[in-house]
Amino acid sequence: MKKIQLLIIGITLTLFLFIGCSEYLDVKSDNRIEVPTTLEQLQALLNDHVTMTNETTPSMIENWSDDYFMLPSKYETTDANFQNMYVWKIDLYNHANDWSAAYRPIYNANFCLEGLQKIGRNDENKIRYDRIAGESLFYRAYYFQQLVWAFASVYDESTAMQDVGIVLKLDTDFNTPSIRASVADCYAKIIEDAKQAIVFLPSVAVIPTQPSKQAGHALLARIYLSMRKYDLALKHAEEALDIKSDLMDYNNPADGISSTQTFSFEKYNKETIFYSEMNGFQGNMYISSRGGRIDTLLVQSYLPNDLRKKAFFRNMDQYFAFKGSYAGNRMFTGLALNELFLIQAECRVRLNDVQGGMEDLNHLLKYRFDHTVPFIALQGSNESEALKIILLERRKELLFRGLRFIDIKRLNKEGHNISIKRKINGNEYLLKPNTDLVVPIPTDLKPFIK
């Protein structure tokens, strides 16, 4: 009963973030609802993985990416709003959505940080107190990062102070105005929270739905990569991999992989550092049942002895559908070791260590290729060639993790000129490289956000 009460209060108090003021005021109070006030109760809020990690990260950015296309027959029977989303147009975008899903765990994190201030830290409670503080700060940083990737321009040091970011909600007071901070301030706060969290967290978590030092470093590596600060991204990728670096061997079923199953990977497998899932509120057109099929040229880029092709895809309607999520029938968006090796590889090449970067990449690929065939290491003779190889392998390895859209945004800042095309009934829709790739604020929240 207590867990149910805690979940109710966490959801009820966050309604203001999801719906308009008038609807919120219609919600009746219930004196039977227990407000968490003890460290045990605050920890229970953070342990509620349904609220904190399940279906919480944005999905619109995947709907807008270039790793898939929709079958024409499915597109024709899809809701008009989803058809518009597929071609990067949004006429109506109300609750529930990417914004509401990510601000819910942020609210719980802020609630716990405020609760800690009321309780106070002492010699008796300091271990639990610090753990709650670290987890709360991590969750807030993690979801701010997810939101800023979707709802703000990509980080550009020359314009970040002027570019509009997200609402940095740092308290639970409904009366605090919802004002969007600059992109520069958003990234500064995300980095500050993540660094503070690392101080308080254990090196590894007991279960991957809980934050850890490794998760904090992995988050910072991901953030700095998106900012194109490659030296700092490399530093934190190395810090994370120093804690734990054992990859799954795709040849070994004991590692949690079975390519013959409907979904190839076990949840919470050995590569998972921190677990989170993409929400399903925006229709998720890339899902196979909704007509989502993998880009044909991308599928063709996998070599015959690359086990990822069998692990990630299944034949469907003469094309290929995706089945390679680390979250079963949902889309995994969390932090994992394979992403870290790819960050490390890319950053080393960008910092003039071509050999080191290719060694990182080939280390990963050895665990992905058929062991009955001699492994031939990929070679990049110079920075440009090595980077091209690594970026392609990054795309192939990290499909549908909510990463492709931010990769397009950051790479276009460096002149890669990646455009996205859709062809529907003979008409071509194009998302040009110089387009500001930003998901709009939900329609029903626009009046409340400045």
190 pLDDT band (50/70/90 cuts)? very high
113 three-state secondary structure: helix
**321: which strand partners?**
314
Q: The domain spanning residue 9 has which CATH number?
A: 1.25.40.390
Task: State the Cα–Cα distance between residues 254 and 165, nearest whole angstrom.
Answer: 44
Q: What is the pLDDT of residues 146-180, one digit of tens each?
A: 999 999 999 999 999 999 999 999 999 988 999 99
> Rounded to the nearest 10 degrees, how much is the dihedral formed by the CA atoms of 113, 118, 119, 123?
80
- Judge whether 97 and 442 are in contact, CB under 8 Å: yes
Could you tell me if residue 288 is inside a domain? no
Burial category of 428 from C-beta neighbours within 10 Å (exposed 0-12, middle 13-18, buried 19 and up): exposed
State residue 33's pLDDT score: 54
Tell me if the bond preceding 96 is cis, omega within 30° of 0.
Answer: yes
Name the residue range of residue 369's domain: 2-250+333-432
Q: State the average pLDDT over residues 358-371.
A: 98
Global pTM?
Answer: 0.93
Domain count, the chain: 1
Could you tell me if residue 403 is inside a domain? yes
pLDDT(4) > 80: no
Q: Which amino acid is at 303?
A: L
Angle value at C-alpha 85, between 81 and 91, nearest 5 degrees = 55
Task: State the Cα–Cα distance between residues 267 and 328, nearest whole angstrom.
Answer: 6
State residue 160's pLDDT score: 98
Residue of higher predicted confidence among 198 and 10: 198
Task: State the Cα–Cα distance between residues 403 and 111, nearest whole angstrom.
Answer: 29
- Number of C-beta neighbours around residue 196 at 10 A: 17
Share of residues in the chain with pLDDT > 90 (%)? 83
Could you tell me if residue 378 is inside a domain? yes
Average pLDDT along the chain: 92
- Number of C-beta neighbours around residue 351 at 10 A: 15
Q: State the average pLDDT over residues 262-279.
A: 97
Which residue from 159, 80, 145, 70 is spatially nearest to 109, judged by alpha carbons?
Answer: 145
- Number of C-beta neighbours around residue 87 at 10 A: 16
State residue 283's pLDDT score: 82
Which residue from 17, 94, 62 is spatially nearest to 278, judged by alpha carbons?
Answer: 62
Task: State the Cα–Cα distance between residues 193 and 185, nearest whole angstrom.
Answer: 12
Task: State the Cα–Cα distance between residues 103 and 145, nearest whole angstrom.
Answer: 11
Task: State the Cα–Cα distance between residues 146 and 149, nearest whole angstrom.
Answer: 5
Could you tell me if residue 259 is inside a domain? no
Q: State the average pLDDT over residues 347-359.
A: 98
9 pLDDT band (50/70/90 cuts)? very low
- Judge whether 222 and 343 are in contact, CB under 8 Å: yes
Q: State the average pLDDT over residues 373-383.
A: 96
Query: How distant, in Å, are the alpha carbons of 94, 148, 243, 273, 444 from that of 166?
Result: 17, 6, 32, 26, 16
282 pLDDT band (50/70/90 cuts)? confident
Q: State the average pLDDT over residues 132-144.
A: 98
State residue 204's pLDDT score: 97
Return the HEC string of 48-90.
CHHHHCCCCECCHHHHCCCCEEECHHHHHCCCHHHHHHHCCCC
Could you tell me if residue 440 is inside a domain? no
Could you tell me if residue 337 is inside a domain? yes
Could you tell me if residue 292 is inside a domain? no
- The helices-and-strands tally (H runs, E runs) of the chain is 19, 10
Q: What is the pLDDT of residues 212-222, one digit of tens each?
A: 999 999 999 99
Q: How many residues does the chain have?
A: 450
Residue that the structure tokens 């499915």 belong to: 74
Residue 430 parent element (H or E): strand 427-431
Could you tell me if residue 400 is inside a domain? yes
- HSE at residue 404, side-chain half, CA atoms within 13 A, is 23
Query: How distant, in Å, are the alpha carbons of 11, 191, 258, 308, 354 from that of 52?
Result: 11, 20, 28, 30, 39
